[in-house]
Amino acid sequence: MQVKFGTDGWRAIIAKDYTYDNLKLAALASARYFLQHPNSARGVCVGYDTRFMSKEFAQYTAEVFSSQGLKVFLSNSFASTPAVSLYTKAKQLAGGIVITASHNPAIYNGFKVKASYGGPAHPEVIAEIETILPQIDPQTPVVPDSKLI
């Protein structure tokens, strides 16, 4: 499956298409986008909901971001989408990610992109991240550095 973003992110069925391999692609493409943001030095926020494996997917997303040189603020417990939005805006971060599939059935999980202003990423941002996806090498190593908070 090729990762295909929709409204403010990507959602897919866990273990079918929402896998660590595909999550890595989404996270690497998003990391490249965030690294171009004027607030990139401030970092990004990663939160997650209570769905199956959301905590682990969030941890992996944070590791991918960190491996690309981004400072990452990872939630230490589940966090609502509005909480991640508020934190992203209040700390003037480059953006945020929420691991959630929102209203979709429990077999889904998702990767919601938050813009620096805290709200859902505009379609133009999502489109830009999607243009980066084909450039991503799936073999890119994920070696987190000390920027993971």
Quickly name the fold that domain 9-135 has: Alpha-D-Glucose-1,6-Bisphosphate; Chain A, domain 3 (3.40.120)
Q: Over 60: is that where the pLDDT of 38 sits?
A: yes
User: For the chain, what percent of residues have pLDDT higher than 90?
Assistant: 85
Q: Over 70: is that where the pLDDT of 83 sits?
A: yes
Three-class SS of 61-108? HHHHHHHCCCCEEECCCCCCHHHHHHHHHHCCCCEEEEECCCCCCCCE
Extents of the domains making up the chain: 9-135
Say what the pLDDT of residue 1 is.
Answer: 55
Say what the pLDDT of residue 23 is.
Answer: 97
pTM of the model: 0.94
Express each pLDDT in 47-56 by its tens digit: 999 999 999 9
Concatenate the DSSP letters of all residues of 41-63 into one string: GG-EEEEE-SSTTHHHHHHHHHH
Express each pLDDT in 96-123 by its tens digit: 999 999 999 999 999 999 999 999 999 9
φ, ψ for residue 35 (rounded to 5)? -65, -20
Whether the CB-CB separation of 95 and 88 falls below 8 Å is answered with yes
d(CA 143, CA 13) in angstroms, rounded, equals 26
Say what the pLDDT of residue 82 is.
Answer: 96
The mean pLDDT of the chain is 94
Say what the pLDDT of residue 141 is.
Answer: 84
Say what the pLDDT of residue 129 is.
Answer: 95
Say what the pLDDT of residue 147 is.
Answer: 61
Q: How many helices (H) and strands (E) does the chain have?
A: 4, 5
Q: Which of 67, 77, 102, 146 is catalytic?
A: 102
- Mean pLDDT in residue range 41-45: 97
Catalytic-residue membership of 102: yes
